[in-house]
Amino acid sequence: MLTHHAQVLNLFSLCEKTIEHKKLQKIIYIAKSFGAPFAEKYRYHRLGPYSEDLFVRLEELCNLHFLQEEQHNVDAVYVLTEEGEKFLHTLRTKKEKDSYTSMYKSLNEQSLATLEQMAALLYFQQMEGDGVRDPHLISRYSDQEWLHAETYLTTLRERQVFYEGS
């Protein structure tokens, strides 16, 4: 019943820290692109892929008291609550705990800017092929920042066999 909710909660548990709303949107999109079992549908928005499904799921998780939303500057930050941990504990298997842990943690350590770039690159590669980018995003970041995002995506692709085989 709450399988998709549990997948989102599991990400919070594995990252062992709070996650900003904007970063969470990008992390889940990128992880889903690499095979992580998320059901959220995405469409392109001003700063890359965005999921209304995820937004609603986060509201539901807060209403169930599994996540707590806190306002920090201009973005919401979500914290896994004790109730959320208890719920996860009843569902968790060893495979769920280990499969994508390193990817989630690694993505969460990236800056929002890098995640925006990576998500946009993946989105356009999946939709239209290599090299297509949103002009609005291109102007926000330097060539060096784009190169960093592309390099990091290459690193994730090289590790993908590990993620799928875990």
Domain boundaries, the chain: 3-165
Q: Are 58 and 67 in contact (CB under 8 A)?
A: yes
Q: pLDDT digits over 35-59, tens only?
A: 888 999 999 887 789 999 999 999 9
Q: pLDDT digits over 66-117, tens only?
A: 999 998 877 889 999 999 999 988 887 544 555 788 888 889 999 998 999 8
**Which tokens go with 84?**
């959320």
Q: What is the pTM of this model?
A: 0.84
| Cross-strand partners of 20 | 77
